[in-house]
């Protein structure tokens, strides 16, 4: 059997090596290096999940939750690098050179993998802070005034939030005398009042990074202005990585049931507030990337509620993290296809997508159905389990609010998506009829329908989101046993 420490060392070093090689001033090296780094990360993550590798190994820590999130992060990292091959060459005036883009993308993935697998709460905080440093320039890649402003706002707000989470780490050390994750999970709580304060600071600090309301102001701007491969990483794995950091501190209070139940109500309040705010806002968006960003915020709220409830709610939260990661990354890749074709993120200017990008149009609709919890996709399974736990635990008011948010979010987002894909174009043409030439078309008809000409879409830009969407579907149809193990490893209820 391979040494677990060796496997983790490869997992950490692969994206770092990819980042270093990407800076070699030779055309194409950065793409190959990043693809190899992403592939190695996926392979090692699969080995860690299948073997399975659990326990502490010096600087490394692994349990069922860690392994699932590590594999998810590695997969989205690889697909984002692959999609970047299609996407970034269409950026005319990049803010940084493309080799620096791939370098920062690799380092961005490294910091997330580091946060998920390191055996120290202090280093987890450093890694989460590192994600800000490595991703800020990526937000501003397209060198627009709005994207530079969004990158600046993202850096300021998130850094301020993470300063509060640093207080949480300090308080944990003051209470327990250690920051080693493996020790904290086995030792009893020594000072429950200090740990309550630590959880409160962690909720605000890491909640800012995860897009939890009302600390979410940076999220819609950064997600909508970043390049689509970066938006996919933000929504699919960066936000859950921040949730993971919070959960590590939150679950330490389980040894003090009274205090745990009290602080749980606070976490539930933030979670359901986020879900409701995002669900209401989604239906009024006029920018399709901002719409997807608010959808990510809504999903993070649901996930936070699931972890707070525990039991099958925690199981639902884990399923939702993985299913949402693949479905939302698929949606952002398709949004990238639309942006490349129409050169705008405004829905009114990009209506009638199906008339030009038929495959992208259908995939975008399916992705939107997936992220809003349509059966049999995985997000539906996660949301159903969380709602079931709310009912079983007697939180009927919470269950009603969740059900309302599910329905409102489903209708609002999919109505907007249908309008974007099948709505009439700016010239008033029907995108489906106008894109199909008839024998009786006149020259005037032909000139009027030129904007509806179906393009030959890039295969890579279709294959990558299709694969991710299929994974989300498989999760919904077949619940992997590892999900159940991960949930029971967090909450023994």
Kindly indicate the confidence band of residue 448, based on its pLDDT and cuts at 50, 70 and 90. very low
Residue spans of the domains in the chain: they are: 262-493
- 271-285 average pLDDT score: 95
Kindly indicate the confidence band of residue 243, based on its pLDDT and cuts at 50, 70 and 90. very high
Which region among 37-46, 83-92, 476-485 has the lowest average model confidence (pLDDT)?
476-485
CA-to-CA distance for 283 and 366, rounded, in angstroms?
Answer: 18
3-state secondary structure of 118: strand
Q: Which residue carries 């993935």 as its tokens?
A: 109
3-state secondary structure of 394: coil
- 235-248 average pLDDT score: 96
User: Contact, 375 vs 303, CB < 8 A?
Assistant: no
Kindly indicate the confidence band of residue 428, based on its pLDDT and cuts at 50, 70 and 90. low
User: Contact, 282 vs 259, CB < 8 A?
Assistant: no
* CA angle, 250 then 320 then 199, to 5°: 10
CA-to-CA distance for 360 and 8, rounded, in angstroms?
Answer: 37
Closest CA to 341 of 363, 358, 366: 358
CA-to-CA distance for 409 and 413, rounded, in angstroms?
Answer: 6
Burial 416-436 (b: 16+ CB within 10 A, else e): bbeebbbbebeeebbbeebbe
Burial 209-220 (b: 16+ CB within 10 A, else e): bbbbbebbebbb
Instruction: Answer whether the bond into residue 376 is a cis peptide, omega within 30°.
Output: yes
Which region among 16-30, 42-56, 346-360, 423-437 has the lowest average model confidence (pLDDT)?
423-437
Sign of the C-alpha dihedral, residues 427, 430, 436, 439?
A: negative
What does the chain come to in residues? Answer: 493
The string of pLDDT tens digits covering residues 290-315 is 999 999 999 999 999 999 998 899 98
CA-to-CA distance for 367 and 413, rounded, in angstroms?
Answer: 11
3-state helix, strand, coil in the chain (%, to 5): 75, 0, 20
Higher pLDDT, 394 or 429: 394
Cα radius of gyration rounded to whole Å, the chain:
22
Q: CA-CA-CA-CA torsion for 317, 321, 322, 324, nearest 10 degrees? A: 120
CA-to-CA distance for 314 and 484, rounded, in angstroms?
Answer: 9
Which region among 191-205, 273-287, 374-388, 415-429 has the lowest average model confidence (pLDDT)?
415-429
- 319-345 average pLDDT score: 95
CA-to-CA distance for 378 and 388, rounded, in angstroms?
Answer: 15
Residues in a beta bridge with 60: 57, 118
CA-to-CA distance for 283 and 212, rounded, in angstroms?
Answer: 19
Q: Is the pLDDT of residue 103 over 60?
A: yes
Q: Is the pLDDT of residue 438 over 70?
A: no
CA-to-CA distance for 229 and 465, rounded, in angstroms?
Answer: 11
CA separation, residue 420 to residues 186, 262, 278, 290, 450 (Å):
52, 44, 20, 13, 19
Q: How far is CA 103 from the centre of its chain?
A: 20
The terminus-to-terminus CA distance of the chain in angstroms comes to 33
Question: What is residue 24's DSSP assignment?
Answer: S
- 202-209 average pLDDT score: 96
User: What local confidence, expressed as pLDDT, does residue 187 receive?
Assistant: 86
Q: Show the tokens assigned to 175.
A: 């209470």
Return the top range by mean pLDDT from 215-224, 357-366, 431-440.
357-366
The string of pLDDT tens digits covering residues 104-158 is 999 999 999 999 999 999 999 999 999 999 999 899 888 788 888 999 999 999 9
Question: What is residue 92's DSSP assignment?
Answer: S
Kindly indicate the confidence band of residue 55, based on its pLDDT and cuts at 50, 70 and 90. confident
Kindly indicate the confidence band of residue 437, based on its pLDDT and cuts at 50, 70 and 90. very low
Closest CA to 302 of 215, 216, 240, 241: 240
User: Contact, 58 vs 119, CB < 8 A?
Assistant: yes
CA separation, residue 319 to residues 90, 205, 295 (Å):
35, 24, 17
Kindly indicate the confidence band of residue 433, based on its pLDDT and cuts at 50, 70 and 90. low
User: What local confidence, expressed as pLDDT, does residue 52 receive?
Assistant: 80
The string of pLDDT tens digits covering residues 31-47 is 999 999 999 999 999 99
Q: Residue 239's CB: how many other CB atoms inside 10 A?
A: 26
Closest CA to 324 of 237, 210, 242: 237
Q: Show the tokens assigned to 396.
A: 């009927």
Kindly indicate the confidence band of residue 453, based on its pLDDT and cuts at 50, 70 and 90. low
């Amino acid at each position: 059997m391979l040494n677990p420490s060796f496997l983790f060392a490869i997992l950490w070093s692969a994206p770092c090596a990819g980042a270093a090689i990407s800076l070699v001033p030779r055309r194409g090296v950065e793409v190959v290096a990043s693809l190899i780094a992403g592939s190695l990360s996926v392979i090692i993550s699969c080995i860690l999940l299948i073997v399975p590798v659990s326990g502490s190994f010096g600087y490394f820590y692994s349990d069922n939750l860690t392994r699932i999130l590590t594999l998810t992060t590695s997969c989205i990292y690889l697909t984002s690098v692959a999609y970047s091959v299609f996407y970034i060459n269409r950026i005319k005036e990049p803010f940084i050179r493309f080799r620096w883009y791939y370098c920062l993308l690799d380092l961005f993935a490294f910091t997330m993998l580091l946060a998920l697998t390191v055996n120290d709460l202090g280093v987890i905080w450093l890694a989460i802070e590192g994600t800000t440093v490595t991703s800020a320039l990526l937000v501003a890649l397209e060198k627009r005034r709005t994207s530079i402003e969004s990158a600046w706002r993202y850096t300021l707000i998130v850094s301020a939030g993470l300063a509060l989470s640093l207080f949480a780490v300090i308080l944990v050390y003051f209470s327990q005398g250690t920051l080693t994750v493996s020790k904290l999970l086995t030792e009893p709580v020594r000072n429950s009042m200090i740990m309550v304060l630590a959880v409160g600071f962690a909720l605000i600090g890491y909640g800012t990074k995860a897009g939890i309301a009302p600390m979410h102001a940076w999220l819609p701007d950064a997600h909508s202005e970043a390049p689509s491969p970066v938006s996919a990483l933000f929504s699919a794995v960066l936000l859950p990585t921040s949730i993971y950091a919070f959960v590590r501190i939150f679950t330490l209070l389980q040894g003090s049931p009274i205090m745990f139940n009290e602080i749980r109500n606070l976490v539930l309040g933030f979670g359901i507030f986020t879900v409701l705010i995002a669900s209401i806002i989604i239906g009024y968006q006029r920018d399709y990337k901002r719409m997807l960003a608010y959808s990510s915020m809504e999903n993070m709220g649901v996930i936070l509620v699931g972890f707070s409830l525990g039991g099958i709610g925690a199981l639902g939260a884990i399923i939702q993290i993985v299913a949402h990661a693949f479905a939302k990354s698929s949606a952002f890749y398709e949004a990238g296809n639309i942006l490349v074709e129409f050169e705008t993120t405004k829905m009114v200017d990009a209506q009638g997508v199906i008339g030009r990008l038929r495959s992208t149009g259908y995939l975008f609709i399916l992705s939107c159905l997936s992220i809003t919890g349509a059966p049999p996709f995985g997000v539906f399974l996660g949301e159903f389990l969380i709602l079931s736990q709310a009912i079983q635990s007697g939180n009927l008011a919470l269950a009603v609010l969740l059900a309302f948010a599910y329905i409102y979010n489903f209708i609002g987002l999919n109505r907007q998506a249908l309008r974007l894909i099948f709505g009439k174009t700016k010239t008033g043409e029907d995108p489906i009829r106008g894109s199909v030439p008839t024998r009786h078309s006149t020259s005037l008809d032909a000139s009027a329908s030129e904007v509806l000409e179906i393009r030959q879409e890039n295969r890579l830009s279709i294959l990558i989101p299709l694969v991710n969407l299929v994974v989300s579907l498989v999760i919904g149809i077949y619940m992997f046993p590892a999900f159940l193990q991960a949930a029971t490893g967090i909450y023994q209820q």
